[in-house]
Amino acid sequence: MNKFTSLLAGALLILSTAALAAAQTGTTTTTTVTTPTTVTKTTQNADGTYTVVEYPVGKETIVNLTPVTITGAKGVATVLRDDNGTRIKLNLTGVPNDVSGLNLYAVDPAGVVTSLGPIVVTNGLGTFETTTPLNRFMLVASPEATLTTYDPNTKVFFRSAAPEGFAVIPHSVVPVGENVGATGMATTEASAYTVPMLNIPAFKRGDDTKIKVNFTGAMSGTRANVFIEPHRGKATEVKMVFHELKDAPAGQSFIVWAVSPDNQFQKLGQILNLKNKNEAEVKATTTFPDFGLLVTQEDIGVVKSTVLVPAGPRLGVIEIIR
């Protein structure tokens, strides 16, 4: 390889119709192959207790409501978000005859419960329609008329499942009555991981945007190309291609996160170490309308317990070059 080719290989790579990639030079390290983990749908707890999602604008979403403490019943809601708010139409079937009425609630990422209204149930059938300003929530139907908190022990008859392809949004705080160990919530303050937003709504098809990636600590010398492709009313595609990777320390793993403007976190991918290569690719989607990108080093035991927010040292932040 001649000198010009070597310089070209180390330059910023500008690809994709919506974003770009960036590189940082450093010492080449012989390391192991890494492979990506793509996350498009997750659950907050192993039992699916929390399934808060963000609903896209202009797209009708079908949401199944899972019966929790009753059997044989079914629930389906259609959710449509537009400039006037989020419209919800709910239909329940097979409700036990001794249930004459239920109440529908929305639970947001902070665990705050909002009453949406009563569901009239007749002959096992229940219907309900409403509009709410909320855009990120899960739905629960409870016989309780004055529900103010939600935890795994709250009496509910139905709970919404995460629609296919939607990423569950982590809690920003631990809800009242919720056990920290049950949610997998890390104890580190979220503000410690504040990162610059990429201003995704401003991305235009056909434009190239220069992005800078700075790695430190265990990832010093690593380079990365970043590709971001937003879709109107749909999740944004994110791809990161890593070069000159180093091994993660024993018992540790490198994690890529999307961070929303209000410091909500979504794990996009975990870089797993294999042999004889020093490159990796992480591909995922996020429903955050805008977000920043963060790479941290996490204890592998915490990662396996479905960690919801970063807890380890920050290794990389992606920034737009102005």
* Extents of the domains making up the chain: 3-40+187-320, 53-166
Q: In the prediction, which pLDDT does 206 show? A: 64
Average confidence score pLDDT of the chain? 74
Q: Are 201 and 290 in contact (CB under 8 A)?
A: yes
Q: Is 75 exposed, middle or buried (0-12, 13-18, 19+ CB in 10 A)?
A: buried
Residue 54 pLDDT class (50, 70, 90 cuts): confident
pTM of the model: 0.44
CA gap 217, 68 in Å, rounded: 46
Q: Is 82 exposed, middle or buried (0-12, 13-18, 19+ CB in 10 A)?
A: exposed
Q: In the prediction, which pLDDT does 3 show? A: 41
Domain 53-166: CATH class, spelled out:
mainly beta
For residue range 123-161, what is the model confidence (pLDDT) as tens digits? 999 999 999 888 889 999 999 888 888 877 788 999 998
Q: In the prediction, which pLDDT does 305 show? A: 55
Residue 104 pLDDT class (50, 70, 90 cuts): very high
